[in-house]
Structure 1
Amino acid sequence: MVRQSCGSCGRVAGQIAPVVKLCDASLALVDVDADPDLAAEFGDRVPVVLIDGEEFACWEVDNAELAAELMGGK
């Protein structure tokens, strides 16, 4: 979950993209401001990383933990 005006969102997306690719997963950036329900749910709590619809991390992501979660889920 991201927002266009969020500098951290771009940073985190760039940080985790190689990990996601290495784990043969897919990365989808969803702009919370494009959907009023998402905007209400996430507010200023972006970036948020969801894995299979479940919140994995908010604001900061540990690449090793992300890789372990993505690899464990396969």
Structure 2
Amino acid sequence: MTPSPQPPRVTLIAKPGCHLCDEARAVIERVTADLGVRWHELSIEDDRALAEQYWEQVPVTLVDGRQHDYWRVDEARLRKALEP
């Protein structure tokens, strides 16, 4: 039996056409690739609850389900949060 893959540890909450989201995505892609960590992205346009909660903070980064950053992603801080 093959074990199921680990759930994503990082979530990017973003919206289309957001330049800060593009910058955050690039940092998240780089850090998670270096550390072998899974991540995924959610759009506030697809989820009314996310839109209501995070509209003024997008992009928002969650680590292990908890809010980590908003507007900008600090690469060193994200790496530290993902260390074992």
TM-score range for the pair, normalised by the shorter chain length: 0.7 to 0.9
1:9 matched to 2:21? The reply is: yes
Q: Which residue of 2 aligns with 1:21?
A: 33
Cα deviation 1:4-53 (Å, max 9, x = unaligned): 12111011101221111111111211101101111111112111100111
Query: Where do 5+ consecutive residues of structure 1 fail to align?
Result: none
Q: Which residue of 2 aligns with 1:56?
A: 68
Q: Which residue of 1 aligns with 2:51?
A: 39
**After TM superposition, what 4+ stretches of structure 1 lie above 3 angstroms from structure 2?**
none
1:67 matched to 2:79? The reply is: yes
Q: Distance in 1 between matches of 2:26 and 2:16?
A: 14
Identical-pair percentage = 26
The structure carrying a bigger strand percent of its residues is: 2
Matched residue count: 72
- TM-score norm. by structure 2 comes to 0.78
- TM-score norm. by structure 1 comes to 0.88
Q: Which amino acid aligns with 1:19?
A: V
> Cα RMSD between the aligned structures?
1.1
Q: Which residue of 1 aligns with 2:3?
A: none
Q: Which residue of 1 aligns with 2:8?
A: none
Query: Where do 5+ consecutive residues of structure 2 fail to align?
Result: 1-12
Q: Distance in 1 between matches of 2:66 and 2:81?
A: 12
